[in-house]
């Protein structure tokens, strides 16, 4: 799930992994988003808030310890709507995009760390979100699961696979598998 309530005018302004010596790790450890519409930020996954404060380069930032074990940092916020110790649900509004801390314009820096506060432990958050890691409007990538399901559906003759937007849902696959048993 993307970190914005309104995803209609969302774009990526700085991809994950971009090499730049000015970053602590020597590369961009997260992804920068800008919304040209509503700027309310939502949690990409549920978990517990372990930081919610105004501090240093990250400005107003929130860290959620997710149920999948990863630590998600939401930085440069103009406003924080959750406090340390709060439990947040996936999709819940937690703040608003801003330009606090080390930032030259309103944007969200979001990153996923395997070890909290270790910039060398980040994972490719674009992959995690299922989107292309490129500057510009957000583009979704079909998940590995969706690709497998699509290939299987074509093989079974239930999809012609011609329409690139066609995607077989998990429910459809389960229904088909059930019928074949
Ligand atoms: Zn950034």
The pLDDT score that the predictor gives to residue 155 is 78
Asked whether residue 123 carries a pLDDT value surpassing 70, the answer given is: yes
The one catalytic residue among 28, 76, 107, 109: 107
pTM of this structure:
0.81
Q: 4-13 burial, b if ≥16 CB within 10 A, otherwise e?
A: bbeeeebebe
Determine the Cα–Cα distance for residues 114 and 36; give it in Å rounded to an integer: 30
The per-residue DSSP string of 54-92 comes to E-GGG-EEEEEEETTS-EEEEEEESEE---TT-EE-TT-
Q: What is the CATH number of domain 10-137?
A: 2.70.70.10
In the reported structure, the alpha carbon of residue 158 is separated from the centroid of ligand 1 by a whole-number distance in angstroms of 43
pLDDT tens track for 89-116: 999 999 999 999 999 999 999 999 999 9
Q: Could you confirm whether 28 is annotated as catalytic?
A: no
Say what the alpha-carbon torsion angle 78, 83, 88, 93 is, to the nearest 10 degrees.
-30
**Count of alpha carbons within 13 angstroms of residue 52, beta-carbon side:** 19
In the reported structure, the alpha carbon of residue 88 is separated from the centroid of ligand 1 by a whole-number distance in angstroms of 23
In this prediction, residue 145 has a pLDDT band, given cuts at 50, 70 and 90, of low
The pLDDT score that the predictor gives to residue 164 is 44
Q: Is the dihedral of CA 41, 52, 18, 128 positive or negative?
A: negative
pLDDT tens track for 18-35: 999 888 899 999 999 999
pLDDT tens track for 3-17: 999 999 999 999 999
Task: Give the chain's end-to-end CA distance (angstroms, integer).
Answer: 33
Say what the alpha-carbon torsion angle 38, 108, 45, 20 is, to the nearest 10 degrees.
150
In the reported structure, the alpha carbon of residue 102 is separated from the centroid of ligand 1 by a whole-number distance in angstroms of 10
In the reported structure, the alpha carbon of residue 142 is separated from the centroid of ligand 1 by a whole-number distance in angstroms of 24
């Amino acid at each position: 799930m993307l970190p914005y309530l309104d995803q209609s005018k969302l774009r990526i302004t700085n991809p994950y992994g971009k090499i730049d010596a000015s970053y602590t790790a020597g590369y961009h450890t997260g992804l920068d988003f800008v919304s040209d519409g509503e700027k309310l930020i939502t949690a990409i996954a549920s978990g517990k808030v372990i930081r919610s404060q105004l501090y240093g380069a990250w400005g107003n930032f929130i860290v959620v310890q997710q149920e999948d074990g990863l630590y998600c940092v939401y930085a440069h916020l103009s406003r924080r709507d959750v406090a340390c110790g709060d439990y947040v649900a996936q999709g819940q509004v937690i703040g608003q995009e801003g330009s606090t801390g080390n930032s030259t314009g309103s944007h969200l820096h979001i990153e996923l760390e395997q070890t909290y506060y270790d910039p060398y432990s980040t994972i490719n958050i674009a992959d995690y979100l299922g989107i292309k890691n490129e500057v510009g409007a957000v583009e979704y990538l079909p998940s590995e699961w969706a690709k497998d399901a699509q290939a299987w559906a074509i093989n079974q003759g239930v999809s012609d696979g011609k329409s690139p937007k066609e995607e077989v849902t998990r429910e459809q696959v389960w229904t088909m598998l059930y019928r074949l048993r």
